Amino acid sequence: MAKDCDALKLFERKLKFRELPLPSLTLATMGISVSIVTALLLPGKIYAYITTAAGSMQMYNWGFIIVSALKVLQLKAKDKMFSTIGLALLLAAVIGVVLESNIWWGFFISLALSGIIAIVTLVMQKKIWNKEHAKKQA
């Protein structure tokens, strides 16, 4: 990702020993450590809501990726079938979250966060990205 300028150049560095990406591994280790400490410090229900929201948003993300692939790529019938099966499994997982009354709040948090992301994306598209696109065409 750093080579494509999608991440900091710092993450492009690798150790000579087995070409290990030490900065990337350090960041991942820190993330896992924060997750473990959070799990230990937060009350059980709140942590369950947070992880449910994160997992639900991850499923929405995969759903958007599959739908985008169906729209953009020229897929064979077999690929479309697997994409449809994948979407059905993601939908089943989200429905499972909705049916589990102990973690409803996590589902609602994920919907709220997804709504916020959608609103910010629409604002960015209208105010910033369209202007940049117009400048490039001029």
47 falls within a domain: yes
19 falls within a domain: no
Domains: count for the chain? 1
Residue 73 backbone dihedrals phi, psi, to 5 degrees: -90, 155
Please write the tens of the pLDDT for every residue from 15-46.
Answer: 667 777 777 888 889 999 998 898 888 887 88
- The overall longest dimension of the chain from CA atoms, in Å, is 55
pTM above 0.85, yes or no: no
20 falls within a domain: no
Spatial contact of 97 and 107, defined as CB atoms under 8 Å apart: yes
What pLDDT is stored for residue 20 in this prediction? 74
28 falls within a domain: no
52 falls within a domain: yes
Spatial contact of 11 and 23, defined as CB atoms under 8 Å apart: yes
Please write the tens of the pLDDT for every residue from 60-74.
Answer: 999 999 999 999 999
33 falls within a domain: no
Token pair for residue 94? 């989200």
The parent domain of residue 66 ranges over: 42-137
Cα 4 from chain centroid (whole Å): 19
Mean pLDDT across 127-135: 74
Element counts in the chain: helices (H) and strands (E): 5, 0
Spatial contact of 103 and 97, defined as CB atoms under 8 Å apart: yes
User: What distance in Å separates the CA atoms of residue 63 and residue 56, rounded to the nearest whole number?
Assistant: 11
Spatial contact of 47 and 71, defined as CB atoms under 8 Å apart: no
54: enclosing H helix or E strand: helix 44-72
Percentage of the chain exceeding pLDDT 70 = 86
Please write the tens of the pLDDT for every residue from 111-126.
Answer: 999 999 999 999 988 8
